[in-house]
Chains A and B, each alone.
Chain A
Amino acid sequence: GENVEQHPSTLSVQEGDSAVIKCTYSDSASNYFPWYKQELGKRPQLIIDIRSNVGEKKDQRIAVTLNKTAKHFSLHITETQPEDSAVYFCAASSGNDMRFGAGTRLTVKP
């Protein structure tokens, strides 16, 4: 089955700086890659997603890139704010079976 690895496990940045989280996947059949944000004690919520026929997608301060050949995808957050502090999860799916990375705890220091 699919295996998703996520790095780093923790990330601390200064407010205004950029943050990058990277994930790799193993199953070449995976074609959908969502990113979730989970605040403490809350449920995971989708923040951005990308399909395998697209190399990059952007939504305001958040962008995701996908390299199908290398089987890795990344989340980029620019101009970070304290409210971006949370745990971020990447995931990969080939249709019916979503697999998640272990998560990255992002801390944005004011």
Chain B
Amino acid sequence: NAGVTQTPKFQVLKTGQSMTLQCAQDMNHEYMSWYRQDPGMGLRLIHYSVGAGITDQGEVPNGYNVSRSTTEDFPLRLLSAAPSQTSVYFCASSYPGLAEFFGPGTRLTVL
């Protein structure tokens, strides 16, 4: 039981490049989410999903896309990276309405 896994652990992009952050969970959780963590600002919700085929926007969705084709996977796509997207990204999963289990995080730098 690996829990929540994320790849890559570190990534450096140039402005305008695109990439996908991968997230997978093996706990059969319906709910999955993506957060970004910036110094002094806590964890801010980007997008979330309550089940396969269903996604919704969180607090800071601009510049990010998500899809949920399976229960296990919830990738986050940056279409055209900007320096403001430099952050640590955490994926999380849970049963609805309960505490979330976080992945190890991806540290992204956009130059």
Which residues from chain A sit less than 8 Å from chain B, CB to CB?
1, 6, 9, 31-32, 34, 43-46, 49, 89, 91, 93, 95-103
Contact = CB atoms under 8 A, between A and B. Distances in A.
Interface string B83-102: 00000001000001111111
A32 B35 CA distance: 18
Nearest to B35: A100
Contacts, number: 52
Interface residues of B, number: 25
A66 to B, nearest CB: 15
Given A1-B59, A43-B90, A44-B90, A100 B100 contact: no
A43 B103 contact: yes
Interface of B: 31, 33, 35, 40-45, 48, 50, 56, 58-59, 90, 96-105
Given A32-B97, A102-B42, A96 B48 contact: yes
